[in-house]
Chain A
């Protein structure tokens, strides 16, 4: 389905982004994988050396974007999966933590898309997928104001980018998962095992969190021609959580 297509994936070294890379390679795509973890990038490249290009880069280094992305080939798809989730309750609000979250979750995706668009790196008919979340777009959660704000911002970005890029038939959509079994969820050390079990019970479908594969398939749908008339939208993948 993705033969001859080249897709750039951020957050390629872990969780959802990593799974997207594996699935796209299986489907015949070439990938341009971005992350900081060099070992993971090397492992990805080893899988299919001829189809994987890697870039070790901290996406918060905004002043280095133009030199860094100059070598990117023409792209048929972009997946912005890099992101962090830091607990930052109002009573102990840390501006530094907030800024870190905004930089990587919110500023990096728009700076990247702008850079690629400006330099004509996005082929006609390309599809861009931004990883938002049900947090901020549908629900709130204690301690998550910064994270929620960045994710809601992405759905706004997608609408405007969809309009600005429509003349080249470039589509822009968000995917909003509920909790997904990845390192990001595991690293939420403020959540005890018991609290996590209770939280899973709130997911109507099978009382569990999503697997990365279940989010990756929604992303592949939006990257593919199967969604050729969808743009500016937000696709929720949450096992029915927000239906309640």
Chain B
């Protein structure tokens, strides 16, 4: 359970290369970001971490690290 790992999974969810993302990436500003990506990130948190993320959680987050903070807090 590391942020590096989460960034990797985030990249898989939104179908971009892992190298193009960091923990500080403002994901909603990415050119390919859309509502399917949001659903995908929520499904990834459920499938890979057993954490229920809401649309509101994704909407209120700016960076990938913001999402990670929510996921890792709920994972505990």
- In chain B, what residue has the closest Cβ to A199? B35
Given A89-B36, A190-B38, A143 and B43 contact (CB-CB distance below 8 Å): yes
A192 touches B54 (CB 8 A): yes
What is the CA–CA distance of A94 and B15 in the complex, to the nearest angstrom? 18
B52 touches A91 (CB 8 A): no
A244 at the interface (CB under 8 A from B): no
- Of the four ranges (under 10, 10 to 19, 20 to 34, 35 or more), the interface on chain A belongs to 10 to 19
Residue in A94, A142, A193, A194 whose CB lies within 8 Å of B39:
A142
Residues in B neighbouring A89, C-beta threshold 8 A: 36, 39-40, 43
A243 at the interface (CB under 8 A from B): no
Contact residues of B between 36 and 75, Cβ < 8 Å to A? 36, 38-40, 42-44, 46-47, 52, 54-56, 58-59
- Of the four ranges (under 10, 10 to 19, 20 to 34, 35 or more), the interface on chain B belongs to 10 to 19
Main secondary structure of the interface of A (DSSP, over half): loop
In angstroms, how far is the closest chain B Cβ from the Cβ of A19?
26
What is the CA–CA distance of A192 and B61 in the complex, to the nearest angstrom? 12
A194 touches B59 (CB 8 A): yes
A88 at the interface (CB under 8 A from B): yes
Residues in A neighbouring B23, C-beta threshold 8 A: none
A71 at the interface (CB under 8 A from B): no
Given A92-B40, A142-B35, A143-B36, A192 and B47 contact (CB-CB distance below 8 Å): no
Residues in A neighbouring B55, C-beta threshold 8 A: 188-193, 195
B59 touches A190 (CB 8 A): no
Best-buried of A87, A188, A192 by chain B (most CB within 10 Å)? A192
B58 touches A192 (CB 8 A): yes
- In chain B, what residue has the closest Cβ to A188? B55
Residue in B35, B47, B58, B59 whose CB lies within 8 Å of A92:
B47
- In chain B, what residue has the closest Cβ to A193? B56
B-facing mask of A69-111, CB < 8 A → 1, else 0? 0000000000000000001110110100000000000000000
- In chain B, what residue has the closest Cβ to A143? B39
A92 touches B36 (CB 8 A): no
What is the CA–CA distance of A87 and B13 in the complex, to the nearest angstrom? 14
What is the CA–CA distance of A89 and B13 in the complex, to the nearest angstrom? 10
- In chain B, what residue has the closest Cβ to A88? B43
A87 touches B43 (CB 8 A): yes
B-facing mask of A181-217, CB < 8 A → 1, else 0? 0000000111111110000000000000000000000
Residues in A neighbouring B54, C-beta threshold 8 A: 189-190, 192
What is the CA–CA distance of A128 and B57 in the complex, to the nearest angstrom? 41
What is the CA–CA distance of A195 and B35 in the complex, to the nearest angstrom? 9
In angstroms, how far is the closest chain B Cβ from the Cβ of A117?
39
What is the CA–CA distance of A192 and B38 in the complex, to the nearest angstrom? 10
Q: Can you list the 8 inter-chain pairs with the closest CB atoms, starting with the nearest?
A: A192-B55, A92-B43, A192-B59, A189-B54, A142-B36, A143-B39, A92-B47, A191-B55
Chain B interface residues toward A at CB < 8 A: 12-13, 15, 35-36, 38-40, 42-44, 46-47, 52, 54-56, 58-59
Chain A interface residues toward B at CB < 8 A: 87-89, 91-92, 94, 142-143, 188-195
